[in-house]
Structure 1
Amino acid sequence: MKLSALFLLHLLCCFQAFTQTNFNTLTDKGYQELADGKSAAAKQTLEQALKVVPEDLDLEPKADFFNNLGVAYYQTGDYKKGLHAYERSLDAYRKLNNDSLVAGALLNLGLAYKEIGAFKQATSVITKAARLSEKYGNRKELSAAWNAIGNIQRETGNYEKALEYHWRALHIRKSIGYDKGTADSYHNIGTVYLEWKRYDQAGKYLLEALKRKKVLSNQSNTVNTLSALGRLYVAKLQPEKALIYLNSAYEMRAEMGNSAKAASSIYYLGTYYASTGDRSKALELFRQAQEMARSSSDHLLLADALLGEINVLKTSKGNDPLLEKYQELVETREKGVNDANRKEMARLEIEYDVERKEREIDLRRKQAKLDGIRIENQTLRNQRLIGWIIGLSLLACLVSAMFYQIRRRKKYIEVQNRELEEQRDEITHLHQELSHRTKNYFGLLGGILKSDKLQVTHPEATKVLEENIRRLEAMSLVQKYLLDDSTHQNKEIRLDTYLTHVIDTVVLNLFPGRNKLKLLCEIDAIYLDYDIAMRLAIALNELICNAIEHGLLQSGTPELGVSIKRSENGLELIVKDNGPGITEQQMQAQSVKGQGLIVKLLHKMNGTIRYSNNNGCVATVHIDI
């Protein structure tokens, strides 16, 4: 029995040792493949290592492993997995309680967010790294964080903010004597000015960066500034200076054997020779740039180099190479678009995850708050349990008394409601009776005026009586529709029904040849208050009288248009005829018949009137309702 247990223990130890050895072998191979630029192979190798990660692996190598795995995922376009790996690396560093490593991991995670365009998350994470570095006095990492945020601001086109952060980084690097970082900050400030098209400031800072980098003898760092200076002088239309810097960058990158970085210098050189008309040299450089871009899977640079070659080939005879290049350009751009789509998809997924996590955190906080309240309530109930038991009898008596009072109050309210209902019915009946009597009074008064009209022989007196009769009929119609239309509880008038009868009544009484008149009415189904409707009817009566008397009686083909529409700020009434129109003197003197009455009516309704000519007189009334 003891031998079996010892054998199993030995077997387990051997398995753990094998797993550890296999993991170390795979990680060493994967790290080397990353260093050699073999991203796809490194990803495959490190994914195999992920399957055999020892459970007792120390936190620091575990964090390093996930960091390198994230690099492999990013370089192969698997951005979401890359971010997940970076987050696991950050978790491992946090468990080490080493704030310097945590700040570095936060910075790497922020740069990963920046790579896919998730600038908001990138800025947030890098700012956390900066605050952590500032808290523990790591000024070098603090400057790196400000530098990264400056680059984010530059990529988003916020050049003033970019300069602000790069100046922060430069000030820190100068103060701690960090020469390489100082040179990089000068380069970054110059690059911001270059993209901002402020070429004089760009040249000043890029030349200062170049001078400092040459002192450091760092070719890898110097070549970027040489390329930037070449681009600067191309933009300033100084090709001779541009050629000097671009050639220097190209030669230095060629010596370093860095084909990925050399490709951009070769492309800019090709652009220069193409602009000078040296077709053969331009084609040679464009094709070299294409080969290097293919090897580094730089689709954007490859597309630029192909387009440069196509532009040169357009001037030569023959279409076969040109067609092939066009086809390759299309394929390259599709790859670039696919890569951009993957980045965008990863960015959107990350934004969704961040939002979901924030919601979960918020829900947890709310749940914790509710749990705390629940616990407090439970404690309070327990503390008061004895008091509830002692006061139970008193509470029963109190409840009985309250129930009795509620029943009495309910009966009292029911009696009050019945009385209010009876009073409301009585008021409604009185309102209807009042409307009926008012209608009768209007009819009686109208009959008296009509009787007087038959006895009067003076034309002017007859005319005045006719005007007053029409006004009374307009007011009488309001009372009629108050009695007939119960849909709005005898409080409002429906304009289209009411005013149509007013118009017909006025036209019938004033226009002798009713069949010859072309009447156009456009009235919306609008409900208005009783007083406003009556005033509007009287005003409309006056306007139609004016239109018939001064316009339509003089027209061979009389036309009368009445429009009442709801506008943004109220109600608009338009009365238009095709008569001779209104003179400028009449408009200024306000001598239109009935103008005084119309103005008084409209004044009480916050209304206005204006006259104009448009193949006849047009009266426009606006009322605020």
Structure 2
Amino acid sequence: MPAILPTSEELAYCYTTANDALSEIARTYFMSGRLEDAQRLLGTALPLLEAREATLQQRLKLLHLYGQVLVVDHLLKRGDPNELLSICQQAMQAAEAIGDNQGIADMFSLLGQAYNFVTTVESLKRGESPNSTRAEGKYVEALNYQQQALQLREVLGDKRGMSESYFQIGLVYERWQEHDVAQEYYHKARLIADENGYMFEKTEPARHVAINALRLGNLDQALTLALEALKLREESGFRPYLPLDHLLVRDMYTLLGDDTNARLHERRAIELAEEMGLFTLVSSMPNLRNYVKGQ
């Protein structure tokens, strides 16, 4: 007897189950620093969602995650930005097509991060500082996207998203060297994260407040804050940026004359980077010791 074929509804359920499983695997790869594995899986999975039983919402879920992976990959590896921007635009188109306001807000934020990092990486690849002035016009697109994300997230009551957007807006002002404004946004981001127990969202504000203390020459405070950021990162379980946190602590110890601890953290940064296949990460990062006021 011929086999009974599954109905369209049953196939749709299978797609939902498969999509959720693939998303979870890719997110695990991402969090653990297996960026190439995450990209390979997501790049393979997305074409499968072109069947009529698959939904645009399922596609948006994978596109959003793919964009997050590519944003981090671009900062750490400094590759071609075209795929990153293409995936982010596709994700926004999917969110708009289904009228998903949360998705639209998330894609505004993702596009803001993408344009921020693309601008930063372009400067670093030219051997220039990523910092500029507002008048130069750099980072304006990143700020505009992030402000739109924040407005939507405030309407939606998305506290985690608001914390993320406050931080990302602060990062633009830091790039413009408007440090007091940047610190205000970092404070807002951290306050929301602390009130709601958002471990990941606590980490970046802590790191950049440490960088500001370093810039001002408050080395003891900077070290305390950098160690806090490192601890928060470890607790959040997000490994790709861990080498950067160890390098920040290294720079603090070096400035304080503690070469033993400086070498320890540099060695740990190299080990972590190599475990994740980021073999040139440590050597390619700018030295934050040059940010100290007066140097």
Query: Could you tell me how far apart the structure 1 residues matched to 2:86 and 2:275 are?
Result: 34
Deviations 1:337-380 (A, max 9, x none): xxxxxxxxxxxxxxxxxxxxxxxxxxxxxxxxxxxxxxxxxxxx
Letter in 2 for 1:129: A
Query: Could you tell me how far apart the structure 1 residues matched to 2:88 and 2:238 are?
Result: 29
- Is it true that 1:170 corresponds to 2:150 in the alignment? yes
Decide which of 33, 58, 67 is 2:14's aligned counterpart: 58
Give the equivalent residue in structure 2 for 1:46. none
Give the equivalent residue in structure 2 for 1:179. 159
Deviations 1:394-421 (A, max 9, x none): xxxxxxxxxxxxxxxxxxxxxxxxxxxx
Which ranges of structure 2 fall in alignment gaps of 5 or more residues? 5-10, 120-137, 289-295
Relative distance call for 1:126 and 1:96 in structure 2 (3 A) is: farther
Q: How many residues align?
A: 255
Query: Could you tell me how far apart the structure 2 residues matched to 1:89 and 1:236 are?
Result: 52
After superposition, residues 162-561 of structure 1 pair within 5 angstroms as 162-255=142-235, 261-303=241-283
Relative distance call for 1:104 and 1:212 in structure 2 (3 A) is: same
Give the equivalent residue in structure 1 for 2:49. 90
Query: Could you tell me how far apart the structure 1 residues matched to 2:202 and 2:270 are?
Result: 23
Relative distance call for 1:82 and 1:234 in structure 2 (3 A) is: same
Query: Could you tell me how far apart the structure 2 residues matched to 1:303 and 1:156 are?
Result: 19
Which structure has more relative contact order (CA 8 Å, sep 6+)? It is 2
Relative distance call for 1:200 and 1:86 in structure 2 (3 A) is: farther
Give the equivalent residue in structure 2 for 1:139. 101
Structure 1 residue 173 displacement after superposition = 0.4
Give yes or no for contact 1:270–1:282 (8 Å, CA) kept in 2.
yes
Query: Could you tell me how far apart the structure 1 residues matched to 2:236 and 2:141 are?
Result: 34
Query: Could you tell me how far apart the structure 2 residues matched to 1:80 and 1:254 are?
Result: 23
Deviations 1:567-589 (A, max 9, x none): xxxxxxxxxxxxxxxxxxxxxxx
Give yes or no for contact 1:70–1:84 (8 Å, CA) kept in 2.
no
SS in 2 for 1:277: coil
Give the equivalent residue in structure 1 for 2:61. 104
Structure 1 residue 67 displacement after superposition = 5.0
RMSD: 3.7
SS in 2 for 1:58: helix
What's the TM-score once normalised by structure 1's chain length?
A: 0.36
Query: Could you tell me how far apart the structure 1 residues matched to 2:201 and 2:38 are?
Result: 27
Structure 1 residue 202 displacement after superposition = 1.5
Structure 1 residue 258 displacement after superposition = 5.8
Letter in 2 for 1:149: L
Give yes or no for contact 1:147–1:169 (8 Å, CA) kept in 2.
yes
Structure 1 residue 122 displacement after superposition = 3.8
Which ranges of structure 1 fall in alignment gaps of 5 or more residues? 1-5, 14-54, 309-625
Relative distance call for 1:237 and 1:262 in structure 2 (3 A) is: same
Query: Could you tell me how far apart the structure 1 residues matched to 2:153 and 2:17 are?
Result: 30
Letter in 2 for 1:155: F
Structure 1 residue 287 displacement after superposition = 2.5
Give yes or no for contact 1:199–1:236 (8 Å, CA) kept in 2.
no
Letter in 2 for 1:212: I
Structure 1 residue 199 displacement after superposition = 1.8
Deviations 1:269-308 (A, max 9, x none): 1101101222222223323333333333333444369x99
Structure 1 residue 69 displacement after superposition = 7.3
Give the structure with higher Rg (CA). Answer: 1
Give yes or no for contact 1:87–1:109 (8 Å, CA) kept in 2.
no
**How high is the sequence identity, in percent, across the aligned residues?**
19
Give yes or no for contact 2:95–2:103 (8 Å, CA) kept in 1.
yes
| Larger relative strand fraction | 1
SS in 1 for 2:108: helix
Decide which of 160, 163, 167 is 2:140's aligned counterpart: 160
Give the equivalent residue in structure 2 for 1:370. none
